[in-house]
Structure 1
Amino acid sequence: MACPPGSEPVLRAFYEGVLGLVEIPKPPALSSRGGCWFCGHDGIELHLGVEAAFRPARKAHPGLLVHDIDRWARRLDEAGHPVVFDDDFPGMRRFHTEDPHGNRLEFLEPIDAAPAGGER
């Protein structure tokens, strides 16, 4: 995903602080280009790279397959980020949100993996 120049502190606050991901070092040949890489539970790994003429990805987006989707939604909602659930993906519970730069993110959980009595 793309990010604007100099936005690494904002990215860290969101991806580490809100989502609980961990920043991982970029390879030395890439570190001078800016941006941040993050990984976390559920096998999530996101690479954010700097684009001088940044425009947020409002349609194209990563789909993050997670466990306990309601926990993810609560974390985002409590931090003031939009959480919009829909029923448009058969067999999945899902919602969309945005990172601080307006990049779209999708969180998904198979319906048969959702905890019984899961809230919406």
Structure 2
Amino acid sequence: MLTSLDHVQLAAPPGSEDLLRAYYAGVLGMTEVPKPPVLAARGGCWFAAGAVRLHLGVAEDFHPARKAHPGLRVTGIEAYAARLAARGARVTWDDTLPGHRRFYSEDPVGNRLEFLEPTTTGPAPLTANGTKASVHTTAHNQP
């Protein structure tokens, strides 16, 4: 039985670790998690924020993920958008998902990222054992 998602992995080009650290830790505020020594030799880096785990693995034939992407739930979505835009990142708002504010952006190596924040209280999603999960939502004014 599946119980949770352990992590999401994105690819990155060789030698991009410092750029990724500056973005994921410096801009997004994630914490770098040390890779096990046997895996550290492969390059790349791992990050965490709360229960979110994001691994960036080096791919010699790197191609950024343009369609597939992690959806990162945030609080204070406007602040995230402003922080990314101030650093030159493209921020593309999308209002097509009911009950959420969201935008798309890219990390420094071109991987697509979705940032979203619930705006309404709706039915609680179910956990793996079928019970209702708690949902924290914050209402925001639409731009």
TM-score when normalising by structure 2: 0.77
Which of 105, 112, 119 aligns to 1:104? It is 112
d(CA) in 2 for partners of 1:107 and 1:90?
A: 14
Which of 5, 17, 21 aligns to 1:8? It is 17
Unaligned runs of 5+ in 2: 1-9, 121-136
Percent of aligned pairs with the same residue?
57
d(CA) in 2 for partners of 1:114 and 1:76?
A: 21
Kindly indicate whether the alpha-carbon contact (under 8 Å) linking 1:77 and 1:83 is maintained by their aligned counterparts in 2: yes
DSSP-derived class of the 1:67 partner: coil
Kindly indicate whether the alpha-carbon contact (under 8 Å) linking 2:119 and 2:140 is maintained by their aligned counterparts in 1: no
Is residue 18 of structure 1 aligned with residue 27 of structure 2?
yes
Is residue 114 of structure 1 aligned with residue 123 of structure 2?
no
C-alpha RMSD of matched pairs (Å): 1.4
TM-score when normalising by structure 1: 0.90
Higher helix share: 1
* Per-residue deviation, residues 53-98 of structure 1 (Å, max 9, x unmatched): 0000000000001111111111111111111111111111100000
Unaligned runs of 5+ in 1: none
Residues matched between the structures, number: 118
Structure 2 matches for 1:70-81, cutoff 5 A?
A: 70-81=78-89
Kindly indicate whether the alpha-carbon contact (under 8 Å) linking 1:68 and 1:115 is maintained by their aligned counterparts in 2: no
